[in-house]
Amino acid sequence: MIVTILILAVGIALLVKGADLFVGGGSGLALRYSISPALIGSTIIAFGTSLPELVVSTNAAATGNSEIALGNVIGSNIANIALVLALCTFIRPGMVAASGASRSSLVRHTMLMLAATAAFALFAIRGTLDIVAGTVFLLLFVAILVILLRERREEGEVEIRSHGWADALYIGLGLVAVIVGAQLVVDGAVTLAEAFGIPAFVIGVSVVAVGTSLPELATSFVAAVRDEGSISIGNILGSNIFNLLLVLGISLLLAPATIGSPVDIIVVVLFSVAILPLLFARPSVVRGWSALLLLAYAAYIAWSFGAVPIG
């Protein structure tokens, strides 16, 4: 038990430090190459923080556990909005309003994320996600990526420091630390859950999904604290796009997945739409809405545990 707790502590430390390096390097890279912080958050950083989902889901699909792959993607996307983003906007409710010209980019990225969610829902209502759905998701991902990469730096951005070529090193080191830290945290959490007799299914839909979202949590939280809200929100939007279209798309090419309960599909759609007030409402309203999202997420997790027979 002591070893498990130590593993958790080391994992959390790596997450925090890795996120700090990652955000610092990403911010500097944005300035060096005249790319908006919102775009950096929605592409490079989003891809980096989505790597745990990619590794977990593709491995699960390759070994015949496609339900785990699907559950990880759905659970991670819900956690990204209702836990990660809600926590960041609760602490910094004015970070969207303070993002300046990047706000227009964030709105566009939000529309792209909602489009990805809609595409997922349309295929999911059939009850099965197959290779056709996976191919469409990947093609849509390429189209969205092209749209994102066409964006350039906008005036009036937050002040960002460039560290020269060290920015790339910071991103690399931060990425490694975040991924290793996330794995340690997931391993430690699973060990603790098993020690307390929690069923493996519940561990998969809750601990694994939240665990693979820890990079987004660490990176977005650090960015929010450093008043780099564009990167914080862009990271969440980009990660959800990567998860639904790239991660799930590749997983479906390896093995089809069956939709177990339509409730999860409805929940991920509702939470995705619930991001809109965080972008357009006043800071006072944003904080209240963030609190509601956090409570709704807690209720969803409680429902997930209660929906599975224990013992």
Please, what's the b/e burial string for 151-187 (b: 16 or more CB within 10 A of its CB; e: otherwise)? beebeebbebeebeeebeebbebbbebbbebbbbbbe
Average pLDDT, integer, range 274-289: 87
How does pLDDT run across 121-149, given as a tens digit for each residue?
999 998 899 999 999 999 999 999 888 77
Among 179, 267, 279, 292, CA closest to 237: 279
- What domains are there in the chain, each with its CATH number? 1-153+162-306 (1.20.1420.30)
Residues contacting residue 85 through CB under 8 Å, at least 6 positions apart: 220, 232, 233, 236, 275, 278, 293
- Comparing 258 with 157, the larger pLDDT belongs to 258
Highest mean pLDDT among 18-22, 210-214, 226-230, 299-303: 299-303
- Comparing 284 with 310, the larger pLDDT belongs to 284
Burial class (CB in 10 A: 0-12, 13-18, 19+), 32: middle
Distance CA 254, CA 247 (A): 11
Instruction: Give residue 155's pLDDT.
Output: 38
How does pLDDT run across 185-200, given as a tens digit for each residue?
777 777 776 777 766 5
**Over 70: is that where the pLDDT of 35 sits?**
no
Instruction: Give residue 152's pLDDT.
Output: 53
pLDDT tier, 251 (very low <50, low <70, confident <90, very high otherwise): very high
**Claim: this prediction has a pTM higher than 0.85:** no
How does pLDDT run across 102-116, given as a tens digit for each residue?
667 778 889 999 999
Residues in the chain: 311
Both tokens assigned to 85: 């983003």
The DSSP 8-state label assigned to residue 257 in this structure reads E
Instruction: Give residue 39's pLDDT.
Output: 66
Phi, psi of 128 (to 5 degrees): -140, 140
Among 242, 230, 237, CA closest to 52: 242
Residues 201 and 308: beta-carbon distance below 8 Å: yes
Helix, strand, coil % in the chain, rounded to nearest 5: 80, 0, 20
- Comparing 64 with 153, the larger pLDDT belongs to 64
Distance CA 311, CA 298 (A): 22
Instruction: Give residue 216's pLDDT.
Output: 74
Instruction: Give residue 119's pLDDT.
Output: 96
Reduced 3-state DSSP string for 69-88: HHHHHHHHHHHHHHHHHHHH
